Structure 1
Amino acid sequence: MASKTKKSKDEEAPQESSDTEDPVRERKLYLQEECRIISQHLDTYMGRAEQLLQGTKQLEKEAQRTQEQSQSYLCCGAKLSQDPPGMVITLSDQNRQDLAQIQAQKEELVPRYAGKEQEVRGALEDTEAEASHLDTELQQLEPYKEQKVQAEKRVKALEKELRVTRIRCAEETHAVRRVTCACSSSSWALQEGGPRDPPQEL
């Protein structure tokens, strides 16, 4: 009976240990999940804080620029208040003055350039008329140009023929001179009593 009681106690010991470890493991997993969720929220909040910081810096820059513009407007207002009333000219008045000045310059320049345009047109018409006249003269001279080319060819042919004739004449003149010299030598020998023996070489 005692052994049976001891055996039942040994069997209950691992079960009690297992029951004790399960809540610890569950608690650990729960805490890990909570830590992960908190880390995600922390990252989200840090990103949001960075965005807010950048937005704050941008707003500070805008505020500084607005303040500088306000100071500039105040300075301009103070300067305008010190100028005489006649010195204060609105933008519309300035535009009207500029437009009137441009209109006056246009009225002054249009007649001048109109006269210049007529002068240039007249010179252009004269040039075109002269060019047309030259074209007509060139067309009239075209036949004479062809005649000139033919005449130049004829002159070159005659010059060539003249050179050939001169060469032939010189050759014939040289031949006549040789015949004349030969005839003169024969006549002189007959007058002296016949031909003489050539001198003997020593």
Structure 2
Amino acid sequence: MGIFLDENFKESVRGKYCLLDNDFLGALFNDNSLFLAMKDLLNDYPFVYDNLTSFEFLRDIYVPSQIVLREKFLSKDLLFPLSDHQEIYTKTQTNALILSKIYAQNNSKLNQKGSASFTDIFLASRLMSLGSKYLLITGNKKDFPNYIFDTKGIITNEEASGALRSYSLLSFDPDKFDKCFKELGGVGN
């Protein structure tokens, strides 16, 4: 088992905070060698997570000992929850609605069906508002499309089964967003 990084990864994360999607948070929880390798790579920069991500991480767990393990994991010194209050939520919600309209318009143009989950649209919106010091790590690249987000790196983790699982390191591109927003025109914005 091990992790494999593309050549851009180390440079891309230097001086950045990494916002975690639930799938990568779960991978860190389930694979201590991945957790330790990422801790070494990030040096002093912690992983951050949104409250919706922690909700996803903890939901559907009904065995009390598993709940305790997961809650303890979230309190590790490398993992920090993002602050959350009404002003942040309102801005995130507004941006999420705009993003959902952009996704719908572009998916229609590209003849793609489906859309990002509620949580992923909120994570995309949260990444928008956090600024350039933050990147997102996700295994669901399709929920963070190239017409708004840039891929800065790829993490490939060899799981215990021998299967390879890739995670994308993404940044929000304000210029791409502005272009999409202008194309949105008067569609309820």
TM-score (norm 1): 0.15
- Who wins on radius of gyration, i.e. which is larger? 1
Structure that is richer in strand per residue: 2
